[in-house]
Amino acid sequence: MRRMRRVKILATLGPASNDPAMIARLHEAGADVFRINMSHTSKDDLAERVAAIRAVEQRAGRPIGILVDLQGPKLRIGTFAKDAEMLSAGERFVLDADPKPGTSKRVHLPHPEILAALEPGHAVIIDDGKIRLEVESVGKGKATTRVVVGGKISNRKGVSLPDTTIPVSAMTEKDRTDLEAAVNIGVDWIALSFVQRPEDIAEVRKVARGRALVMAKIEKPQAVARLDEIIEVSDALMVARGDLGVEMPLEKVPGIQKLITRSARRWGKPVVVATQMLESMITSPVPTRAEVSDVGTAVFEGADAIMLSAESAAGQYPVEAVATMNRIAVEIERDSNYRAIINAQRAEPEATGADAIASAARSIAETLDLKAIVAWTSSGATGLRIARERPQTPLLALTPNADAGRRLALVWGVHPIVTEDARDIDDMADRACDISRDAGYAEAGQRVIIVAGVPFGTPGATNMVRVAFVAQDGGALGHGNTSRRP
């Protein structure tokens, strides 16, 4: 199944889409990677979802990525004697360590680490921004705040702290258990919520031990402030716009999205744009015009993947949502402005042999109008480096490693194919040409460019570029058959 677009689509599974037949329909409609949200998934359900996706993968004959999204810490206030109270702007309201039911004047905050970290001037946001408090003073086991935005406050609503770095791990005990289950069952990506510092990512990597790659969800101001440090230790990023829009002024989110997508590309790390992309399709068979523009903006920006959340997990039109996102992406990539915008964002290659070869391969392919760039890759790193260049020429990644192929399913423009490793240089060229032809990227007599590392099967050894003609009777012209270049 050949996709007619470069950006990838990530679809979240849930009550509307957990059925194996529905998973197959979503993949056929355009989903390249499936997200499993552990906030709503047990370990037993996780095993069922992964098995269903792998069955679809086997029938489709192409790698499908699986991303497990860890729940992360859930910070919440306590309960009220009357279940709810009304707060008015300008009033004083106390957050404290007293477990007694709350009143209109105070409520229990069952997180001593928050009370210890709050400082005067810090904002405390409750219930996704419906209530906003500002800390005026702090004492032992309590913080006195002024109500900035009032309204109804009720039991166990979530707390966000945009100004406060909390000395707490991004992983709870549940997350650790879920993480172990996910990597043991063979998922490809782990998304980490509540990232504040690079050490949060290092903690997950220590548990994963390379069995899955780690994606940092950028949803807190603290993560934006240390973005480059977090990118350096992450394998990929997610622009989690929902929580970003709660913890930061809404008007800042578009600029932060561009900052993250461009920074990730500069580092050569995949980036996913997520949250409310086609939100109205939860209940409507068609999106709003603004949502179409939002998806288009992410595609123009060169994001590696665009994500559906509730639209595919719990909406009434999951297949239609994926198909709509696919159509939007295909059309944007055909737009006359698309290539100029993508090229304008290209960063200079890093001072490494692999990056220099990736840049050269793109330039040669575009100068000679070659039909495909074929990258032999053991770990997937060669495919990533070439994808960083955002080549106009289609990119095939041939790998003997099924895990690498599945991970590359998330990466811009990469068509991953799992195959036996090349035996020698002639076999490398012959099979690259055969696969390019069989996959519909090149015809007999046309040329492709091949990127590989010698010796074969050695991760990080990208050191060779070769241009080859596709032969009529198989292989590359000039070797492996009796044909000669015309």
Lookup result for tokens 């042999």:
353
| Helix (H) and strand (E) counts in the chain | 17, 21
Q: Which of 202, 267, 262, 192 is nearest to 231 (CA)?
A: 267
Distance CA(485)–CA(294), nearest Å, equals 48
Q: Which of 109, 160, 112 is nearest to 132 (CA)?
A: 160
Burial of 210 (0-12, 13-18, 19+ CB in 10 A): exposed
**Residue 153: strand pairing partners:** 85
Rg, the chain, Cα only: 25
Could you give the C-alpha distances from 366 to 68, 183, 353, 359, in angstroms and in order?
37, 39, 20, 11
Lookup result for tokens 């980036």:
271
Instruction: Pick the catalytic residue from 8, 35, 220, 437.
Output: 35
SS3 at position 356: helix
Distance CA(240)–CA(225), nearest Å, equals 15
**Residue 468: strand pairing partners:** 448
Residue type, 260: I
- Beta carbons of 72 and 204 less than 8 angstroms apart: no
Q: Which two tokens stand for residue 346?
A: 């290209």
Q: Which of 171, 241, 166, 164 is nearest to 202 (CA)?
A: 171
Instruction: Pick the catalytic residue from 41, 79, 164, 275.
Output: 275
Q: How many CA atoms lie within 13 A of 78 on its CB side?
A: 21
Instruction: Pick the catalytic residue from 3, 25, 43, 76.
Output: 76
Q: Which residues contact 40 (CB under 8 A, 6 or more apart)?
A: 14
Distance CA(460)–CA(61), nearest Å, equals 27
> Read out DSSP for 405-451?
HHHHTTSTTEEEEE-PPPSSHHHHHHHHHHHHHHTTS--TT-EEEEE
Q: Which of 388, 392, 413 is nearest to 267 (CA)?
A: 388
Going by their DSSP bridges, the two strands 305-308 and 271-274 should be labelled as parallel
Instruction: Pick the catalytic residue from 5, 217, 385, 407.
Output: 217
Q: Is 76 a catalytic residue?
A: yes
Q: Is 275 a catalytic residue?
A: yes
> Which residues are marked as active site?
35, 76, 217, 275
